[in-house]
Structure 1
């Protein structure tokens, strides 16, 4: 096993040389050993080799006596949500996010959707690379789907009260990744004055319009063109596993992330107590901290990386982080 696939808080490698069903099964065994868990959530992105990796993980977990909640095609945020919602011991998402098509990987989340600690990641790696055989239980586990799939959409809808929103037309570019089905489900729940226009919504692991990575300038044009052609108020573009999104204004211009972090922080603080903590990435500019302070919040800086950001959110009881 090529141990270079184990990064600080996830796994990434080239398929099949570095990451294949055999390695995926070992990783699943490592997660089970590291967490001592008996119930796991699994899901995967649109990449052509993702389902095969997930099936190897499911087989290893079930053979070891664990129960598995199989989300199938989904976004990383859905694995995080369902791990907490189903009170699972851990979640595994097979995805390489915005990396080139020959890559795949695994993202992890622990109990209550908390990130795995560095020690936990080390334990996963060490077991996966060991000579220990994959465990076999006398009573295999079971595989099932989520009990109430709409619960995730219910959760998203709970973040905003849309009835009083002025008329809005929003372009959402899924980039042929995992976001399309969720956008379609949200569109059915929108009030009449909110219109969602989906671009490249069909999940397609061949990525006919290029790898969905809106951080790259040459991956932004489709969103820009759709905003302008449809006269939308703004646009949103997602990466492949839709754990990141990027905004475009009403003229189709890309909006840098630090402005969005400041805007969302201000929106959250409008319904929060004075001095409420807001966590922000240390790569953000002074404008982010100024926006938080101006809205009555307390700015808390975090190390770069979603694991560190989420840890800071929990430690400080923050209302938002970005």
Structure 2
């Protein structure tokens, strides 16, 4: 799969990777990171819901639970991963890349990134060679809205500006979710 890079899985969706690849990432991730619960967030790209669905199906078929953060920013996923002691998280995004791109940023305990030399290569090998067998104790998807906690964390770094009139244009960025 052409989408494996040094620090993430990313490429043109349905060309460099597809829903079957997203499923396999989900299926083998619990084994790779030795966990039964994975936090998942996503951005607003058109392909993000489909990637989310297949990623989560893979995670659940492996017997692990998905904690669905919903629409979120990458820093929000990292914050919740570390603060809530998740052993694994996935942010579905292609960051600054054009709209036809998408991908997955994977983190482990303390929101440490999983790069090609620290796990993605192993994940890629599992996807190529290991077999898939649906766990009889399938995992579930748990809605996990932590937006308010993240906003409260951010507010600790900003002085009181309630007397200012401010206009913000978030363009197509995920930060609009938090404004």
Taking structure 2 as the reference length, the TM-score comes to: 0.89
Gaps of 5+ in 1: 184-322
Match of 2:61 in 1: 63
Within 5 Å, which residues of 2 pair with 1:109-258? 109-117=107-115, 118-128=117-127, 130-146=128-144, 148-162=146-160, 167-183=163-179
Match of 2:34 in 1: 36
Distance, in Å, in 2 between the alignment partners of 1:166 and 1:71 is 28
How far has the Cα of 1:42 moved from its partner? 0.7
How far has the Cα of 1:9 moved from its partner? 0.6
Secondary structure of 1:172's match? coil
Distance, in Å, in 1 between the alignment partners of 2:28 and 2:139 is 17
How far has the Cα of 1:166 moved from its partner? 9.1
After TM superposition, where is structure 1 displaced by more than 3 Å over at least 4 residues in a row? 165-171
Deviations 1:230-274 (A, max 9, x none): xxxxxxxxxxxxxxxxxxxxxxxxxxxxxxxxxxxxxxxxxxxxx
For the 8 Å contact 1:83–1:90, the answer to whether it is kept is yes
Deviations 1:185-239 (A, max 9, x none): xxxxxxxxxxxxxxxxxxxxxxxxxxxxxxxxxxxxxxxxxxxxxxxxxxxxxxx
For the 8 Å contact 2:73–2:174, the answer to whether it is kept is yes
Taking structure 1 as the reference length, the TM-score comes to: 0.52
What's the Cα RMSD here? 1.9
Within 5 Å, which residues of 2 pair with 1:79-90? 79-90=77-88
Secondary structure of 2:57's match? helix
Gaps of 5+ in 2: none
Match of 1:18 in 2: 16
Match of 1:51 among 49, 52, 65: 49
Distance, in Å, in 1 between the alignment partners of 2:133 and 2:78 is 26
Match of 1:6 in 2: 4
